[in-house]
Amino acid sequence: MDLNDTPEQAEYRAHVRDWLERHRDQAPPRSGSYEDGGYVDARRAWQGRLAEAGLAAVTWPVQYGGRGLGPIEQVTANQEISRAQVPGILDVIGIGMLGPCLIAHGSEEQKSRHLGPMLHGDEVWCQLFSEPAAGSDLAAIQSRAQVDGDGGFVLNGQKVWTTNAQFASFGLLLARTDPDVPKHKGLTMFIVPMDAPGVTVRGLRQISGEAEFNEVFLDDVRLPADAVVGGVGNGWGTALTVLMFERLTIGFGSENFGSPTHLAQAIAGDETARRDVDARRRLGDVITELLAVRFNGYRALTVLSRGQIPGPEAGLAKVTTVNAGVAAIDLAVDVLGPDALAPETEWSYLTSFLPGLKSAGGTEQILRNTIGERVLGLPTEPRLDKGVPFSELRSRERQEVRS
Amino acid sequence: MDLNDTPEQAEYRAHVRDWLERHRDQAPPRSGSYEDGGYVDARRAWQGRLAEAGLAAVTWPVQYGGRGLGPIEQVTANQEISRAQVPGILDVIGIGMLGPCLIAHGSEEQKSRHLGPMLHGDEVWCQLFSEPAAGSDLAAIQSRAQVDGDGGFVLNGQKVWTTNAQFASFGLLLARTDPDVPKHKGLTMFIVPMDAPGVTVRGLRQISGEAEFNEVFLDDVRLPADAVVGGVGNGWGTALTVLMFERLTIGFGSENFGSPTHLAQAIAGDETARRDVDARRRLGDVITELLAVRFNGYRALTVLSRGQIPGPEAGLAKVTTVNAGVAAIDLAVDVLGPDALAPETEWSYLTSFLPGLKSAGGTEQILRNTIGERVLGLPTEPRLDKGVPFSELRSRERQEVRS
Amino acid sequence: MNFALSDEQELLREAARAALSRVNTVQAARAAIEDPAALPDLWPTAVQAGWPGLLIGEERGGAGLGGFDALLVLEECGRVLASVPLLGLFPATAILDAAGDESLESVASGDLRPAYIPSRPPSDLLDGWTVEPHSGATRAPAPRATLDGDRATLEGRVAWVPDAPGAELLVVAGIDAGGAPVAVAVPAGADGVSIEPATRYDATRSLGHVTFAGARGRRLDAGADVLIGAWYLAQALIAAESVGATQTCLDVAVAYAKERHTFGRPIGSYQSIKHELTEVLRRLENARGLQYYAGWAHEAQPVELPLAASAARSAAGAALDFAARSLINVHGGIGATWEHDAPLFFRRAQLSRRLLGGTHDATDRVAEQAMSGALSGAGAGV
Amino acid sequence: MNFALSDEQELLREAARAALSRVNTVQAARAAIEDPAALPDLWPTAVQAGWPGLLIGEERGGAGLGGFDALLVLEECGRVLASVPLLGLFPATAILDAAGDESLESVASGDLRPAYIPSRPPSDLLDGWTVEPHSGATRAPAPRATLDGDRATLEGRVAWVPDAPGAELLVVAGIDAGGAPVAVAVPAGADGVSIEPATRYDATRSLGHVTFAGARGRRLDAGADVLIGAWYLAQALIAAESVGATQTCLDVAVAYAKERHTFGRPIGSYQSIKHELTEVLRRLENARGLQYYAGWAHEAQPVELPLAASAARSAAGAALDFAARSLINVHGGIGATWEHDAPLFFRRAQLSRRLLGGTHDATDRVAEQAMSGALSGAGAGV
């Protein structure tokens, strides 16, 4: 039981800290608007610097530009980047989830063409999985990829909740190539250039008024045969790799929504709230939950550093973090009053942001199903869609709603 | 919108109040042990007095000894009984639920034989529905009634959660007469003399150590053909009548677990708790919930007095009442400390009593299913037991658990 | 015993619903977040419906209806997020009517729009009449009135006053030099009065910080009981408005849960969705029962109004918060997008429960009432 | 970075589990409700396992292990509701060891059983060292020690002390005339000491009200930091015990949910059951993560112990309450019957969270720590 670095880890930390101290004055600000092209370019360039210094893609194999180190070193790098108060990489989705998927399932051509520009921020990637009717039930994807005369494909459909699509160069896209087999079986993964004819990106405004996500429309988008990743009909398995890396990214729950320190300060700063037993109890509950996430993160990291994959229960960290965040904001607004809901405040932003986050990456209900079944071994619900061809499933639904 | 009595109601109230004032000194104490035969006998006799005076079975037709009045008069009588600080009827289950079922489904012989002694407390009744494997899923009853040579029946099985069985003269029992049809179809309702050979009653101790309920074992109990109520194979429909009257009884939620007044006094009496914002807020929440139950009860009563049946949402009063009760006890013990958990206290009793009550009369989950489907019109869950013969269902389950 | 709406009340409710249906108020609530001018002026609708005179006696040109009826109107406004300045109007007219003020005819006709400038009466941990702080939990004293016969001069500031911007007559709950409550009517345009408009998060809610610096008005013939009644009427009104909004949240969520499919089933068939929506229903019905209690107490049992209105406020504020979050959850990500109606109800929920003392304060008052013995008599019977 | 149990710790846990498995402690917990004599004496088991010396240095005959290890032992006791007087023992030995007291060898060998007589250190809304009130929320001052060189005379009363009955040496956190903390060791049999046994609701929990009336003992060489450390060690210990009990609640409930059928399906396939049990898991794992944090802080980062132990206590107390109620709910009516194990865990949950200041008090201390800035450094890194 030791939270200190081993000598090797300490050496790596010193290297990272030293590099950051020498270069931190070249970093762009930590926050800025992604609508501002200049800011995005500065973040791309900074990602390139981090990559050159070995602070990005720490766990990627050396042959693809990574450092070939373990998850603890990745966390170390992140900790030091945070400590230096500089921004981290821009393309968290590409480097954290899509790149590792390409490394696992991509062809040699795909890897050599894409991994370098991804790593250095020259080409940002986005994940084109979710659809309006395929969120929790991801395998219900309706986007169609039909074979055309040349052995290539023609894509039609709509994607949603796509982060970074507005400035991404490529997307990793899941589409249905065969509707006449059960729904998990007819899917294929593709690489889509975001500037291909027929691709349209539209910002999706959230409660807060900001466009945190995008919708992506695909109208007769033509793709060559070598755009396929992992083989035709193997899209579900390829997608699961991405989702596994997504879980690892979210699972550590190192990210807190709304600084607990700010919350504590806000309460401590109000003479009445400081002595209000109820406000104190609510603050104590929030802090307790967030501390639990942090120390369970260390437990998961220990497992990971031993070469094992943490179980799905790591996903509970997201539930805890989001719900504690909601409770924290609620308390802050109770204490500070309506002024906390002025547009420019941290509290107002989070009040709007968190309700949407609850379903990002799968709703809490789906997560609890998965954990109940895979961790506790509870029986599954009866499934009405098993083994049924996707096309039949859809017409059945349409009928039901009409009746 | 008027909570006052109409002139007719006021007259009835005056009659009841007058009678109670003249007879209250003859009443037994409001609480006592049901293990004490003397106390039970006193309560039987008192029920007889109430019945004679028209204060019991207020809504039963006059021809069966009732007053033929409406639900408001029944509530009025209950209010006055409570105000006079005397006990009400002993056999709430018989008069509130089983008698009305006999009136609806019983033969003339059954009515003339049983309703009188039931009403006057000479013969107490119990409800023999629930079984160890048939609680929420009541139609899964396994007790078997097989036809014998004389056209009578032989009963075998086990019932549970039977209130008053230890001193009841008769039970209304649901048993399976045909296992080879789907589960709702093979059931029949019977009248069982509790002193019949083969009937064994055993107290079922609760967390508190008291036997609030009983188990009833049935071993080759012989019943004549005229013990059937409502026809062979019609048991489910007959049972639904009982359950509807049960819902009306519980639905008003007039009963609070743990007096909110006592709770408020306990908090007001502790100098620290009186000024503890958290304790106050929790008290305020409990009181708010209980007030809502009371005023929704008036709404339901208004519906009822117009000859309509309140919807299943009235069952939410039970959820609110039990959960508010749990919150109330929790607060009381927090404020008073471990001494509140001494065996003789009201708080200690309720701490033990309420967890069991949560599932009495159907779990909260089942209630929420029913209300979600019947009130909000939400779709049902897929059912795996529909149309399947009961005997096949059972063997399927056994196999699953083994696998 | 009859605890249901009368035929007249059903009609009043239908009329309010019809009047409000002429404008797409929900759409306007969204547009107004970016452009406050997009909010339709519903005062003419209110005047046409006769709401300004609803609580004013018939002899003064009003309709002579009761608090229960006013609550039904607010419930309808809440259903569609209509921005009608009734939270300011109704308590103000209740005070003016009790005082038999000279302005009543103009108010009843809709020619003079009054707004209630509230003060929170003492009766719990906090002593004395206080007002909303501009920021933070520490409360400020109510405006101080220096009296000179029928005239009163006011000093002080009240923050986050609903419907203050645009009002023509301010009906103020202040305190005199000895801390006793005084009701004062001040024209909004009088010297020494300033109203700083403030909108936060929910664009349909017109708020203002009202400052009195030597503002002169007339003292109203209304005592502590009238001012206490006005405060609790305001609590009940905002509760009823939340009940209406909660009903819409439930209706929209239920409709979606029947239609949206995952894993081959409508999502409303899953227990997690079904039970959550049943919980919305439970909270809604509880809040509505307490709204009726508050309306009944206002008309028939004023001694129970503090308990009833506080309980209604507490239950309804929490119900709407829960319902708005459920509405978003049931919709998944789409429920948190700008074009969906769910965020508008969410915004309403978040701001509303922090106004007029806030819902937690109302819960505290329920506790205080219970501890001081108001409970035993609550609601007739038993 | 390594936040997992060492091989030695795994072995210690296995050994504890094996030692406790020799008696059916859950069965005994039920029998003891009616007959306290039915409770087995597990002190010999503790002695054999070496627990009395666990926290005592090897040079004094102890094992020289740390707080983390003590927590693992308590977790195992909690799993099976074993009644071993460790809540009294471990904090007492921690104080005696820090003071280098003369009794250490006898304590380490198990010949002399000490019990910690706690006082709650100041650091939140309540000022000064206080002790459990006998009833009600208003706290009493800690026992007052009149000093005379190495000797101390105690006056005062501490209620609801775990493991006081049967202890031979009382290790008391008192205050001197100036209110400063003083550690005093008093033989339980000394004049002026009385211990009134008190059992409430959970028969496995031996409690006592301890009164000092001019009781004379020896002053221990242990300052405020040691007494504060003992209080938070006690908080962490009762947390770990609750973590163990929560684990059993989850295991039993999950097993039943797989086996019990309604409407043709195992009940664990229904979302309401599945999600509730997942919530038990979430709370359990959070509490366990914080138990590890507290154990780590006790050994490696004492400045974070108040935050860590309070957080662990707060999370574990709530987790066990939730888990015990879930265990009953999942079983339906049968879970509330005398013969079932669920009520025993329920009793444990209800009493435990009211002892040693109570879980709400621990939550309050987390808040105080956060507000006084302890948070920024919490748990290395970031």
pLDDT for position B250: 56
The DSSP annotation for A257-317 comes to SS-HHHHHHHHHTSHHHHT-HHHHHHHHHHHHHHHHHHHHHHHHHHHHHTTPPPPGGGGHH
The interface predicted TM-score (ipTM) is 0.95
In this prediction, residue B393 carries a pLDDT of 83
Strands C207-219 vs C151-162: parallel, antiparallel or unpaired? antiparallel
* Count of the separate structural domains present in chain D: 1
CA B273 to CA B267: how far, in whole Å?
Answer: 6
CATH architecture of residue range(s) B256-362:
Up-down Bundle (1.20)
The residues of A whose Cβ lies within 8 A of any Cβ of B are: 276-279, 281, 382, 384
Q: What is the largest CA-CA distance in chain A?
A: 74
* Selected residue of A341, A357, A383, A399 to mutate for chain C interface (largest C Cβ count, 10 A): A341
Q: Looking at chain A, which subunits does it touch, using at least 3 CB pairs closer than 8 Å as the criterion?
A: B, C, D
Position with higher pLDDT, D73 vs C379: D73
> What is the DSSP secondary structure assignment for residue D190, as one 8-state letter?
S
Residue located via tokens 């395998």: A139
Whether B344 is catalytic is no
CATH of the domain at D364: 1.20.140.10
Provide the pLDDT for residue C379: 58
Phi-psi region of B144 (alpha: psi -120 to 50; beta: other; left: phi over 0): beta
Question: Are B24 and B86 in contact, with CB atoms under 8 Å apart?
Answer: yes
pLDDT at position D382:
34
Q: Are D148 and D96 in contact (CB under 8 A)?
A: no
Q: Show the tokens assigned to B259.
A: 């007096």
Matching residue, tokens 């550093």: A305
CB-based contact (8 Å) between D199 and chain B? no
For the record, the structure tokens of D300 come out as: 């490696």
DSSP letter at A379? P
Over chain A (403 residues), what is each successive 10-residue block's mean pLDDT?
A: 87 95 95 89 96 94 94 88 92 95 97 97 97 89 93 96 95 96 95 98 89 94 97 95 80 57 91 94 96 91 85 86 93 95 88 80 86 95 84 81 65
Q: D338-353: string of b/e by CB count within 10 Å (b at 16+)?
A: bebbbbbbbbbbbbbb
Taking an 8 Å cut-off on Cβ atoms, the answer to whether A9 and D1 are in contact is yes
Task: Determine the distance from the C-alpha atom of residue D108 to the mean position of all C-alpha atoms in its chain, rounded to a whole number.
Answer: 19
Q: Which residue blocks in C176-331 are alpha helix, DSSP H?
A: 224-259, 271-300, 305-331
Positions in chain D whose pLDDT score sits under 50 = 380-382
- pTM of the predicted model as reported, rounded to 2 decimal places: 0.95
Whole-number CA gyration radius for chain A: 22
Q: Please, which chains are in contact with B (at least 3 CB pairs closer than 8 A)? A: A, C, D
State both tokens at B207: 């967390």
Rounded to the nearest 10°, the torsion over CA B374, B375, B380, B385 is -30
Q: Is residue D258 part of a domain?
A: yes
R_g of chain D, CA atoms, integer Å: 21
How crowded is the C-beta side of C75, counted as CA atoms within 13 Å?
A: 27
Every domain of chain B and the residues it spans: 7-90, 125-238, 256-362
The tokens for D34 are 């009616």
Q: How many other CB atoms sit within 10 Å of the CB of residue C150? A: 10
CA distances (Å), C379 to each of B256, B323, C310, in order? 15, 22, 14
A102 vs A229: CA distance, rounded Å: 8
For the packed helices D224-259 and D271-300, what is the interaxial angle rounded to 10 degrees? Answer: 160
Backbone angles phi, psi at C236, to 5 degrees: -70, -35
Interface check D223 vs A, CB under 8 A: no
Within 8 A by CB and 6+ apart from C197, the residues are C164, C165, C206, C207, C208
Contact C137 A136 (CB under 8 A): no
Angle formed by the axes of helices C305-331 and C359-371, to 10°? Answer: 140
CATH architecture of A125-238: Beta Barrel (2.40)
pLDDT at C382 exceeding the cut of 50: no
Q: Are A189 and A236 in contact (CB under 8 A)?
A: no
Q: Classify each residue of D294-321 as buried b or exposed e, where b means 16 or more C-beta atoms within 10 Å of its C-beta.
A: bbbbbbbbeebbbbbbbbbbbbbbbbbb
Q: What does the pLDDT look like over C120-133, one tens digit per residue?
A: 999 878 889 999 99
How confident is the model at residue A356, as a pLDDT? 79
Instruction: Please judge whether B140 and D262 are an interchain contact, meaning their C-beta atoms are less than 8 angstroms apart.
Output: yes
Q: Which among B192, B127, B188, B193 is positioned nearest to B161, based on CA atoms?
A: B127
How far apart CA B185 and CA B402 sit, in angstroms, is: 28
Residue C59 is assigned to a structural domain of this protein: no
Strand segments, DSSP code E, in B63-182 are: 125-128, 144-147, 153-159, 170-176
What angle do helix axes D359-371 and A277-305 make, rounded to 10 degrees? 80
Q: Is C5 on the interface with B (CB under 8 A)?
A: yes
Residue D139 contacts by C-beta under 8 Å, 6 or more apart in sequence?
Answer: B272, D120, D126, D130, D131, D132, D133
What residues make up the domain containing D233?
227-381
D141 within 8 A of D128, measured Cβ to Cβ: yes
Residue B398: its pLDDT value, please? 77
Which residues of chain B carry a pLDDT beneath 50? 251-254
Q: Does D174 touch chain B (CB under 8 A)?
A: no
Instruction: Express as a percent the part of chain C with pLDDT over 70.
Output: 98
> How many interface pairs between A and C have CB atoms less than 8 angstroms apart?
136
Alpha-carbon distance A325 to B120, whole Å? 61
> Is the Cβ pair B132, D139 closer than 8 Å?
no
Domain A125-238 matches domain A256-362 at the CATH topology level: no
Q: Active site residue: B215, B246, B344, B364, which one?
A: B246
Longest dimension (CA), chain C: 76
Closest Cα to residue C71, out of C229, C355, C220, C291? C291
